[in-house]
Structure 1
Amino acid sequence: MGCDSKFFPAEDDGYRCGLDEETRRVASSELREDEAARAAAVQQLRDWVLRHPAIRKCRTDSVFLLRFLRSKKFSVPLAQEMLERYLTVRQLYPLWFRGLSADEPVVREILLAGYLVPLPERDEFGRRVILRCAGTYSHIFQNCLYFQKSTPMRHKSSTFLNLPHYASKFMEFFVTLLNEKLKSRIKLISNTEELQKIVNIKILPKEYGGEMPLSEMIDKFLLKLEERREAIKALDEMEMEVDQKTKFVTDLEDELAGVAGSFRQLEVD
């Protein structure tokens, strides 16, 4: 028995935009999004998914499809390309993407450790700020390889606080993998005072000068994950036939092999 069919509709699922007026103006200005464009683009992308010969199953609800459309400023062809790459990467590397429910012991342990925490409040620009408390950096280079073309999010900046010496060396290599636009969005800082100049102190955890303890923020995030349990589980139902000879797949494998080799070289140096 699969997840609720509301995540796999073949037609209009009755989505109603919940953005406030200010955010709607921003969406119109930056993304060319309005009611008519949204409805038409979502159905066009949904129809493409349902006709795609290699996609066995994919979420087709408006909330899911809008992530790709907004990431690509409502260019349907570019959203199609991103979605295809996203499904391909999920299929090739299931350990990165499947079984991410907070009920899973390993996932819950990572969340409770504060490895990845979306802050409860958005910043003054309405952006979601994600705090990552990483004890190791081997996850970063994996993410960067498919990030630019395969992940449905509009990434604005990354700030790294108190990197140890060896990690700073790795970051120099990591930045070379990014395009010029993303390079300009990387910031390396050494203290919380600098962080508070970049991120509104009011939304930061208490440990970084804010008001709410990090543990409370983690609890709020776990509650949100529980509320969206079925939507998260629906992601695990998605499947795509992958042609190992396609250029994207071969390029991705070559990139992974190259990065792994370079990372080992950094460790030796």
Structure 2
Amino acid sequence: MFSSTVKIKHLHRISQLTSLIKFQCHRSIDELRKNIEPSVLPEEYGGTVPLAKLNENFKKYLLSKRDMLLALDRMEIVLGGGTSAEPAHGGKDIVDAGAVGSFRKLQID
């Protein structure tokens, strides 16, 4: 098992986030089928598997990862230097309200 408490020492630039998120839009179902393997598409979109079966497979996958997902839910992120009982950002209420810090420019292609 692994510890559910994580301390982040360095945050990477927000620009790296955009390299992880890629959305693909398709103008038609034919174009979708050209770019995505039919085995992962439901029958309704030209695939080979009924949507109910895909949902069932996904639920089984999530159940197989249940312990890890619950551990992630219990995780705590410690912000600050770790030398003081009070976080460097001013308190837990700020973290609960949203992201800490300033994001002046966020572009998603």
Q: Which has the higher helix share?
A: 1
Answering whether residue 81 of structure 2 is matched by residue 212 of structure 1, we say no
Partner deviation per Cα, 1:171-200 (whole Å, 9 max, x = no partner): xxxxxxxxxxxxxxxxxx221001111112
- 1:249 aligns with 100
Task: Give the C-alpha shift of residue 81 in structure 1.
Answer: 3.3
For 1:146 and 1:233, the matched residues in 2 are separated by 29
Q: Tell me if the contact between 1:58 and 1:237 (Cα under 8 Å) persists in the aligned partners.
A: no
Pairing of 1:37-48 with structure 2 (within 5 A)? none
Answering whether residue 36 of structure 2 is matched by residue 199 of structure 1, we say yes
For 1:214 and 1:255, the matched residues in 2 are separated by 39
For 2:75 and 2:15, the matched residues in 1 are separated by 18
Paired AA for residue 75 in structure 2: M
For 1:200 and 1:223, the matched residues in 2 are separated by 21
TM-score (normalised: structure 2): 0.60
From the CA coordinates, give the structure whose radius of gyration is larger: 2
TM-score (normalised: structure 1): 0.27
Answering whether residue 91 of structure 2 is matched by residue 222 of structure 1, we say no
Pairing of 1:95-244 with structure 2 (within 5 A)? 148=17, 154-155=20-21, 157-160=22-25, 189-242=26-79, 243-244=88-89
For 1:249 and 1:146, the matched residues in 2 are separated by 17
For 1:227 and 1:219, the matched residues in 2 are separated by 12
Identical-pair percentage:
26
For 2:57 and 2:72, the matched residues in 1 are separated by 22
- Superposition RMSD in Å: 3.7
Task: Describe the shift of the 1:220–1:147 C-alpha distance in structure 2 as closer, same or farther (beyond 3 A).
Answer: farther
Partner deviation per Cα, 1:70-91 (whole Å, 9 max, x = no partner): xxxxxxx9xx535xx9xxxxxx
Q: How many residues align?
A: 89
Answering whether residue 81 of structure 2 is matched by residue 81 of structure 1, we say no
Secondary structure of 1:158's partner?
coil
Structure 2: stretches of 5+ with no match in the other structure: 80-87, 91-98
Q: Tell me if the contact between 2:6 and 2:78 (Cα under 8 Å) persists in the aligned partners.
A: no
Partner deviation per Cα, 1:23-62 (whole Å, 9 max, x = no partner): xxxxxxxxxxxxxxxxxxxxxxxxxxxxxxxxx9129xxx
Q: Give the structure, 1 or 2, with the largest relative contact order (CA under 8 Å, sep 6 or more).
A: 2
